[in-house]
Chains A and B, each alone.
Chain A
């Protein structure tokens, strides 16, 4: 049966130009897919989207849709103009957790595609901004059917709402020489410890884990996660002086003076007259720049670990916050190391669940109660690496100074310093 296709003069303009067109893809589902349900659903979706383009207004409303046993993971969408576009009047998205690092076999992608066209619209995104596979567009009943089917062969929903969210990690050790940790293992150890908090939203607000293998932070962990794990090292970086000389032979001495030596944020590099690179490792902050420019010559050291920053988020409600260093360096090698990192995450989430206000991100709570109180609450001692600089304001009571100073010297002695 031929469907009556909505005219889409504005959307049609998005089929011109060289970049792949999502409109052409949706039209293919409307025009070529063998399942009439998908033809009709995508036809009405295009109709509603054209209506949005004409009126410059969105027409989806949220609601409550979930799968049996879970409270989250679905983004429900009900159309406000469902009378005009009935076949897409329910158009929910399932958020499905990708494998850590976003690796897929084509066989698995095909299996997911087969399941999705059976129960959904046939539209999918790898991946949304939280990091989920987004299966876009199905009705309330088929949400459950699709979930049941893919859940049987190894897939689970991610988080939506005030819960632990789907985690993200960079490609890392799988294909990057900068990697200083096993990102995939850290990612899964953290998020899979909290499946209950992912699936049943009961926290003050969202909580995100992100893992980057080095300070390049390709994963954008510092700016966009409540619990950011960044790989680093604490011994000397490795320098292959022969490769340094090869680079200089290739692009010239001035290029490397202008682009490596003078760009070091702590002036930790110098180049001798015979083109030997001298690194003052005590001054190096592991920013990664020189390694990025000379990847053949410079490599992370052997004593690798992670830095953990807490409380990154975007604007709402108090403005943008970067994560703050809470663990300057932590080894992440043995099972015990991973366990203690997961325990730290539990401690932080528990403290925040107890003390955070409704709709208050962890970083906002830290802003409100103060970093020192937060550290006290999670049982971590203060460290100068947590700050850019010590306090400027003299408005502070210092009655406990002597004990605090003594505690510092005791800790230094314990650390053998």
Chain B
């Protein structure tokens, strides 16, 4: 089988001493920052990104993937121990996980999350290896029209799957697309929306946007309700689930993995939607549904497996098509571009060691998470206990230094402050930052493909409907839009996000 050859190439790359070390450092740092309350994967990756600039591309991406899994895992730990989900995908884990912790079963909840995540990660890695090559092959046949329609579909899907007001989510995407266009227009060399500032000639760096909105904005918003978290009398309790528990979690883990793997591929889906969907399904079909919300172990196993599977499969569109399906992938794409790699289907054929190395490193990263993190739970608990008023100045320091060092420019620091202000306004007005970041990364690509498609068709817009793949994607986008606008289904969507 070809895939085995690819995978062995990947493991060869990922198992080199250097890359193993970077994967380990990534997982460790990601967990350390991810457990801090109020810091999700996006902020964690943005903060640690500058640390990877000096590395060779493959090591840098391996470390970043490690940071991602670490941060996500750390978020679950915080959700279980202090009922403070650091990111939206651990919101549902907090429901039953925290109750388990209150009943003295924190250890079991943590181990369940770890086991579920590891299993889901293993399956999703295999899926990634299976589906990436054919998808990339298909993508190589894509013309500009297909790419443009795919991006429309991706953006529409992320609106549909966003929670909160639809109108605001669409607005935020377009705002992001516009922000992405700031800088010099590649075709004509005209500076656009730069206000004659030379610092804007190359556009706004996505790290500045991400750190401002997800780092600073969140901190200011968190200060509104400072120190409401209550750490339990920290007894973690027995770690390993007993035989009875294992029996209860097998099916939820399997279902969560399957669901997460599917939803993760969807643009805009990823970890968040997967964990919500897995939780509500489990709650409906479980024999112990009465226990949900009071510390049901199934309520931890299913969403944790689903969100890890989803996180992993969300790499598929990013790696094969070069299109981010969520803000984390948008950051990864930004990181690839900084490393001089143009994301897209060509990466797989031109740099197979890089491509398969990343995939293999995901499995290794997941493995590290489970063998390292459970024994080190004491350390993480101590990290969580750092009071917020000592924590956030530290986060600000790292954000400021990181942003300054991007271009060695204080202008970027000021710009980050501006996005921090805007991020706070957004959180007050319930405008989501995630769709904006997605639009921001996609903006320039979308313009490029639109230009090329219309140039080739001699300005006939029908080209998007005449080509079958492109038409299919646009029809799917229109259907998705219609579905959320129908009142009956709209109510269902709201219910799904209320849980």
Determine if chain A interacts with chain B.
no
Q: Which residues of A are in contact with B by a Cβ distance under 8 Å?
A: none
